[in-house]
A = this chain, B = another copy of it.
Amino acid sequence: MKIAILGGDGFCGWPATLHLSDAGHEVHVVDNLSRRWIDTELGVQSLTPMDSIQERCRIWREVTGRTIHFHLLDLAKEYDRLKAWLAEHRPDAIVHLAEQRAAPYSMKSDRHKVYTVTNNTCATHNLLAAMVETGIDAHLVHLGTMGVYGYSSVRAPIPEGYLNIRIDTPDGERAQEILYPTRPGSVYHMTKSLDQILFQFYAQNDGLRITDLHQGIVWGTHTSQTALHPQLVNRFDYDGDYGTVLNRFLIQAAIGYPLTVHGTGGQTRAFIHIRDSVRCIELALSDAPAAGDRVKIFNQMTETHRVRDLAEMVARLTGATIATLPNPRKEAPENDLVVKNDQFLALGLNPTVLAEGLLEEVVDVARKFAHRIDRSRVPAVSAWTRDLGATVEHDPEGRSLKSVS
């Protein structure tokens, strides 16, 4: 297949690119490299030293003989170039990971809120409009988030995107299937809820074939392809904005920093290892809906954990201490979460579960590059509201956080 990977330079995008190239597909990375600019803006860097996308592609070719094509293009701002690109290249499938992906970044300031909505919504809608206009028959696989479901406690397992409900009518009870009611908890998550509406419309009106992956929190860093050469290493974020919770615990443990649990740690979240994330994208590509079908939605996760349980597990494994901090997010302090992922299991996903060996692999990577860590950038300081921001005063090492944000 000829596959366009939008956002192929990012944390999930790069390993997905290598995985699909390795599987023999003709892979085109389309990216505006915005994630690298955000590193510059925030003054942080990937824990792992990361080469340019051009250099990464060169190394991949040296190591495997396979070619990855790179195209610099801003989906949100360059509609006409996007349309021309699709008309020229006519990919069989499009993997869309070209959205700003960090909830804390999306809540840093009004500028970040506006950027996240504008970038994510315009990127996704431009893509859909251009697919219709060029008449290409590509299967669109989009990376969404489990966060669209919200994290209020429901005792019922979360189904894969659609919910069967019953409504009273004058003629008696009526059953109906609806998109699971969305309740996003940040501006970032909200943009993925908006995407769902865009997808619903374009599948219905234009028969676009769309798969939406509601992904859990990714952990781990290596895949078998990124491990092939030091310069193929994946980016690995440790900072309070882009670092994901389990990876952050492991990095904190590696550098002797207290594990930062916000609030009670009673938040239950869904997780997936980066190896499974790229495998799921491949499985989703193999199972495209037909034109006229509703959007196919997968829950892309393999297990759920309570944040404080993860912290305790990492503490046991590494001897790290745990610091309980005020929660800068506006969210339920505790929630249950049971998630269905039957569809990927049926397609043959063999879940990578939390195991000491894999956790230690992450700690090893963190130890190797510990000299690249700026400890002052470890705390999560983006607050969901001004009031919550006022409660975040000092990090576990006693630095004032007021000056950091």
Q: Which A residues form the contact surface with B (CB < 8 A)? A: 79, 83, 109-110, 113-114, 117-118, 121-122, 125-126, 129-130, 132-133, 135, 154-156, 163-171, 174, 176, 178-179, 181-187, 190, 193-194, 197-198, 200-201, 204-206, 330, 384-386
Contacts and interface: CB of A to CB of B under 8 A. Distances in A.
Contacts of A114: 79, 122, 125-126, 129
A156 B174 contact: yes
6 contacts: A110-B132, A154-B174, A155-B169, A156-B167, A183-B204, A184-B197
A187 B201 contact: yes
Contacts of A135: 386
A215 B378 CA distance: 48
Contact of A122 (B83, B118, B132, B170): B118
Given A114-B129, A130-B110, A156-B174, A184 B201 contact: yes
A125 B132 contact: no
Nearest to A124: B117
A122 B113 CA distance: 11
Nearest to A206: B385
A197 B193 contact: yes
A129 B110 contact: yes
A200 B386 CA distance: 19
Contacts of A83: 110
- What's the number of copies of this chain in the assembled complex? 2
Contacts of A132: 110
Given A117-B122, A179-B181, 14 more contacts: A79-B114, A110-B132, A110-B133, A114-B122, A114-B125, A118-B125, A154-B169, A155-B169, A156-B167, A156-B169, A163-B167, A165-B165, A185-B205, A187-B201
Contact of A155 (B125, B156, B170, B205): B170
B190 A201 contact: yes
A129 B190 CA distance: 13
A205 B382 CA distance: 14
5 interchain residue pairs of minimum CB distance: A156-B169, A178-B181, A165-B165, A110-B133, A110-B129
A402 B125 CA distance: 27
Contacts of A113: 125, 129
Nearest to A198: B190
